[in-house]
A = this chain, B = another copy of it.
């Protein structure tokens, strides 16, 4: 049920601010904040857009855990 994400790790490693990543994927800064803090499941498009920015696979960036 819970979503684990590495967006923050990849973003910081890439030297990007939340606002810069948001602009790259055509989303709002607050949306990135919520995502990094696991507030909700993104749409497939948003997830793939972010994965593309970091040149990683969606599965590298997101994982759903049971419990």
Query: A interface vs B, CB < 8 Å?
Result: 3, 41-48, 57-59, 62, 64
Contact = CB atoms under 8 A, between A and B. Distances in A.
B62 A59 contact: no
A17 to B, nearest CB: 23
Contacts of A48: 58-59, 62, 64
Q: How many copies does the complex hold?
A: 2
A45 B41 CA distance: 7
Contacts of A64: 45, 48
Contact of A43 (B44, B57, B58): B44
A42 B64 CA distance: 15
B41 A43 contact: yes
